[in-house]
Amino acid sequence: MPYVSDGPGVFLFLDCGCGVLGLPASAYDGLPHIGPSTFDSCTFSGLDARPRHFYDGSGRAKVRGVSVVYRFPPFRLHPAARELWKDEALCTPTRPVFDCIAYLLEHRDRAVGRDELVAAVWGRVDVSDGHLNQTIVRARRMLDDDAQTQRAIRTVSGFGYRWIMPVAIGESAQTPPAPPLVPADAIAPAAPRPESTAEPPPASSAVARRAWRLPRRRVWGLAALALLIALAAVLHRYPAGPPAPAADPVVAVLPVAVAAGPAEDWVRLGVMDLVAGRLREAALPVAPSEAVVAALHRQAGAAPDRTALARLLGVGTLVEGSARLADDAWTVTLTTLPPSGVPQRAEARAAEVVEAARQASDRLLAALGRTPPGELPGDDALRERLAQMQAAVLANALDTARAIVHQLDPATAERPEVRLRLADVDYRAGRLDVAEAGLADLLALPEVRADPLLQARATALRARIQFRRGRFDAAERAFDAAIPALANGPSAQELGDALATRGAARAALGRYEAASADLGQARLAMRQAADPLGAAQVEANFGVLESLRDRPERALPYLAAAAERFEAFGAAERLLFVLTATYDAQAALLRWPDALATSDRLWDLRERIADPAFSLVVACRRGRVLLALGRYGEAEALLAEAAAGRDAVRPEVLRYLYDFESDLAARRGRWADALAAADRALATWPSGPGNDRYARLLRLRQQARIALGGAELPEEPAYAAAGTAEASPLLTLAAAEWNDRAQRTEHAAALFETAWRRVDAAGTPAQIAAVAGAWVPWLLAHGRPDEAAAVAGRAATWAGEDYDCAVLQVALWQARGAREAWRDALATAQRLAGERVVPAAWATWPADGTAASAR
């Protein structure tokens, strides 16, 4: 059973080898874009000239009269030819990677901001941080660089990137003279050429050179003619007309200042949400109230920094308001705070605050040149009660929201809008049975069935309940029914949330392509809704989806971008989930120093989350990294601390504690304790054949039984799936070891080979290390040293950070009789050992030079 968070957003914990899935999407490619021309200068190494560079929005640089070549051995980059060479080999970077490298090279005298780099490479700004991070990872990899060494591209924390590798600049002698530079706004796509019926014969280089020896005047004339033809084609395709209006800046409505008695405290957030909704109904992009509250919470205790607040929310205009009760009437005043220009102000007075807020919103819209929407449905009293409930939800006062409903007269309390809001409150409070029963009754009403949007909202809420219960098939079906109507509704946020959660359900069902498509649509909807937290949630989901697909390295950029945004908003619970997913990805990559740093951040956050189950999960993951680093004493103390709080958590969550306990006991050689803890963990652990963690626990229990001297070793029923495409390679490995113990050597060898083929083709470093750690000793013991060398060599990549991989190298070099290599490998293993001791048989060189038995 997955563990699903009860907090904001959609986060799903799956018990897989990588651990966590936090799911609430791909950025669409826009039309070709040519940005405004910009010019820069750059000093040539060894030359006095300062050529002028022309940028066309793609990161490509052109210099008047020459073609620049950047040399940074062993690489050289030709921007005009769009070629990257490594020595004499032509590299093949993708267009964004090439443009990213070229732009950073051109501006190597300074740091380049992330937004600037996005605009230069993609020609637009609606590119996710995760997409940029992936491009940087690929650019570094293309240059034999990485995030640890940062030899060529350095990360400037909180800002962007900078090129730091020394560069020599020259010109390419073989590039023909460049045509005259043209302002960017005159550049247009060339007219399509008619297809030739036959290809011309290949010309020799000499003929080609003669063909281009045209008088300079003719060259310029041809260039001008080509430009005119291209321009004519564009004008024909896009006839002249009025310029398209600029996109409306996003607006954020702040909580209103209230001058009234304590009974009217709800007005502060309730009217804020009413005004935001009214502006949104007039097709004005407005940030969600939840995001505004979260951003203000980050600045709690100090006067709001409006500039920082607008930057964090990604908005251009803030709307401040006040509500004052005097002489039995409410006066609501709204004022815009634009980044430039004249503020607009609107005011209205009415007996009810909801009506005053509506009138003030409509007058503000008129001042902004917008047509106010029509009359609101229902009466003022109902709207006020719903606004009070929403204010309580925004303040996380769910009991207050429920009490408001109970104070209503019976007829009003039975209104479908009220019943839907109450079901949402129960869902948020974790009262899933109550919420589900209320929705079943609500969806049976004829008036709800006659209202497609209301029916879709109720169905989507029922789908979220099914999702939280782990009924992913039912959740997907319910979302299938709700999403079409939500797509035609007024709220892009509602649609984005539904798509993101359906994507999570599909990911849990292993339907990764469909999940990715949902997340891609959810990303666009969240951007349309101007919801920065929702957009960050989708980025996090993409990262976890990559981890589920055993691609943890691809996951990290997405997760890092989401963590940065959640931290900026002070969204502690969401940040904790994303950091947990980050830790799992780093552990899968055997990056234990990084995993320890992430664990430290998680440990600092745990007290901000009032969920004992979550605190236990954080403690157990910290225990895993301590074990990987050989810090067993600290792990023992942590286990005792975590076990002390076991009574406060749900029974199914205790499996994480038992998993940690069994691992520690096995490493300490306390095999009876390890066996008992493994049995307790497996009693509630999801038992799918593809679950790495489940397979690892089966293997640990099997090792404990062997160590305890059991005469007969029972075969696990799960081994029936070993070797199949659906089985985890660790399950196949455990079955191989069982067959070896049963002296079924040929079958064991076949299963070992199957497990290795799986991880060698598409396994994570952790999976590779686990299979290699078992198979290398087996190969050495069976007289197959060459195969052992090949397998151990694959794991040598991580021998500098992972103790188990380092010990494999010790065994291998001893078996091959390479004493110097053995000595170096032993030193590395001892450095990583912590409280562990390298096995004595491998830690000493045999007196007769014969390798110790690996078994």
CB neighbour list of residue 625: distance below 8 Å, 6 or more residues apart: 583, 587, 592, 595, 596, 599
Spatial distance between the Cα atoms of 417 and 419, rounded to a whole number of angstroms: 6
What DSSP string runs through 594-643? HHHHHHHHHHHHGGGS--HHHHHHHHHHHHHHHHHTT-HHHHHHHHHHHH
Low-confidence stretches of the chain (pLDDT < 50) are 1-66, 173-247, 853-855
Please list the helix, strand and coil fractions of the chain in percent, rounded to the nearest 5, in that order. Answer: 55, 10, 35
Closest CA to 153 of 132, 129, 180, 131: 132
Does an H or E element contain 668, and which? helix 654-668
What DSSP string runs through 98-140? HHHHHHHHHTTTS-EEHHHHHHHHHSSS---HHHHHHHHHHHH
The tokens for 227 are 């430009």
Query: Which pLDDT score is estimated for 12?
Result: 44
Q: What SS3 string covers 468-491?
A: HCCCHHHHHHHHHHHHHHHHCCCC
Query: Which pLDDT score is estimated for 625?
Result: 96
Spatial distance between the Cα atoms of 631 and 836, rounded to a whole number of angstroms: 8
**Contact in structure between 53 and 44 (CB atoms under 8 Å):** no
Spatial distance between the Cα atoms of 457 and 451, rounded to a whole number of angstroms: 10
Spatial distance between the Cα atoms of 792 and 768, rounded to a whole number of angstroms: 10
Closest CA to 351 of 332, 338, 373, 376: 332
**Contact in structure between 10 and 500 (CB atoms under 8 Å):** yes
* β-sheet with 75-78: strand ranges across: 89-90, 83-86, 75-78, 68-72, 168-171
Query: Which pLDDT score is estimated for 126?
Result: 61
The domains found in the chain, sorted by start residue, are 38-182 (1.10.10.10), 250-376 (3.40.50.10070), 578-843 (1.25.40.10)
Query: Which pLDDT score is estimated for 374?
Result: 67
Query: Which pLDDT score is estimated for 609?
Result: 67
Burial class of residue 250 (count of CB atoms within 10 Å of its CB; 0-12, 13-18, 19+):
buried
Query: Which pLDDT score is estimated for 524?
Result: 92
Spatial distance between the Cα atoms of 655 and 685, rounded to a whole number of angstroms: 7
Spatial distance between the Cα atoms of 436 and 434, rounded to a whole number of angstroms: 6
Spatial distance between the Cα atoms of 808 and 792, rounded to a whole number of angstroms: 6
The tokens for 274 are 């009413």
| Distance, CA of 599 to chain centre | 18
Burial class of residue 772 (count of CB atoms within 10 Å of its CB; 0-12, 13-18, 19+):
buried
Treating both helix axes as pointing N-terminal to C-terminal, what angle do 129-142 and 114-122 enclose, rounded to 10 degrees? 80
